[in-house]
Amino acid sequence: MKEAQFYIALENGQVVCQLCPHACKLADGRVGVCGVRRNRGGVLYSLVYEKAAAMHVDPIEKKPLFHVYPGSASFSIATMGCNFHCRFCQNHDLSQVHGEPTGQLATSRQVVDAAILRRCRTIACTYTEPTVYFEYALEIARLAKAEGIATVFVTNGYINEAPLRELAPYLAAANVDLKGWNKDFYRRVIGGDLDSVLATLKLMKGLGVWVEVTTLLVPDQISEPDLQEIARFISQELGAETPWHISRYHPDYQYTQTPATPLALLQRGREIGLAAGLRYVYSGNIPGDEGEHTYCPQCGRKVIERYGFQILANHVHNGGCRFCGAGLDGIGL
């Protein structure tokens, strides 16, 4: 265990966690919504510091981060725990904690050394929610930066401003889930607050973190007007250069009554994003779709051709389109 950052100790032995907008007020012995931060004797502890529940080498495209060192390997790590309780979570065996969180000892130094050994360009805090293992992720990111390795987050964006500001100097990029536009959906199905996620997205951009946005298109929970509002928000508040990934939903966990997203709905979502002026709009979880590829926003030519997580052709040269010379947006293109 490690003492957590960002909490207030009260006189009665309770603590208030200030890591995320839930602001859990915990009596002695109680754990927060995330399941991995516990009050013990008036001190808040992380139960998952250096306790890895998953470690793999993935293509960076799997995150998905299509504009961060395309074609490179990413050392991916997670602990148990999440501050959301999405009823359709596809990693619920790791994200939803019942009892004491488990995992294997992997020090921050060992994680960075493993990434170096495997020639990974990035370390991805992914699979679950990296916010809830903040202390571990921050230490990894600090050590990684000193070794010339970038740290990226795959996150739900549910983090308070102070911890995000502390993390940002060591965070190169983030893919943030913007799961919908309906506030009731966020409260009822996700277990969070939409406005807090939107605030995180804007702050990340303001702090210089490269941001890509993913929306899992759950058919009965997100409408065409919702997609139009999300596209407008990304374009106007984050910038037209911000990639938007619209991903196909598959039934899972407690949400099996709704069938997988129809392909026509995904394609319509991509049309909406492009019509809103976004330069890069992708359709995810449907290998072989034209929405997997990166197109030059100036000449329209296909500059990165993909199939699933594999790059088949790359026509980016010195950060620009090989065909017309226009600059492309991202890190390490």
pLDDT of residue 137: 98
Answer yes or no: do 165 and 24 share one domain.
no
Answer yes or no: do 139 and 239 share one domain.
yes
Q: Can you spell out the DSSP letters for 284-307?
A: ES-TT-GGGSEE-TTT--EEEEEE
Do residues 178 and 213 touch, judged by C-beta distance below 8 A? yes
Give the span between the Cα atoms of 322 and 157, in whole angstroms.
35
Using only C-alpha atoms, what is the Rg of the chain?
Answer: 20
Give the end of a domain, one of 13, 29, 46. Answer: 46
pLDDT of residue 231: 98
Length of the chain: 333
Answer yes or no: do 85 and 154 share one domain.
yes
Name the amino acid, one letter, at 129: E
Q: List helix spans (H) across 147-248.
A: 161-167, 183-185, 194-206, 224-233
Give the end of a domain, one of 273, 288, 303. Answer: 288
Answer yes or no: do 114 and 251 share one domain.
yes
Answer yes or no: do 171 and 189 share one domain.
yes
Answer yes or no: do 200 and 110 share one domain.
yes
Answer yes or no: do 33 and 141 share one domain.
no
Which of the 8 DSSP states describes residue 294? E
pLDDT of residue 16: 98
Q: Please count the structural domains in the chain.
A: 3
Q: Which two tokens stand for residue 136?
A: 């571990």
Answer yes or no: do 90 and 117 share one domain.
yes
Give the span between the Cα atoms of 114 and 108, in whole angstroms.
10
Answer yes or no: do 183 and 280 share one domain.
yes
Question: Could you list the mean pLDDT of each consecutive 10-residue stretch along the chain, which spans 333 residues?
Answer: 96 97 98 98 98 98 98 98 93 91 97 98 98 98 98 98 98 97 95 97 98 94 95 98 96 85 94 98 93 97 96 96 98 97
Answer yes or no: do 14 and 141 share one domain.
no
Strand, coil or helix: 194: helix
Answer yes or no: do 28 and 144 share one domain.
no
| Phi, psi (deg, nearest 5) at residue 297 | -70, -10
Answer yes or no: do 78 and 226 share one domain.
yes
pLDDT of residue 267: 93
pLDDT of residue 255: 81
CATH number at residue 114: 3.20.20.70
Q: Which of 206, 209, 202, 157 is nearest to 179 (CA)?
A: 157
pTM: 0.97
Domain around 180: 51-288
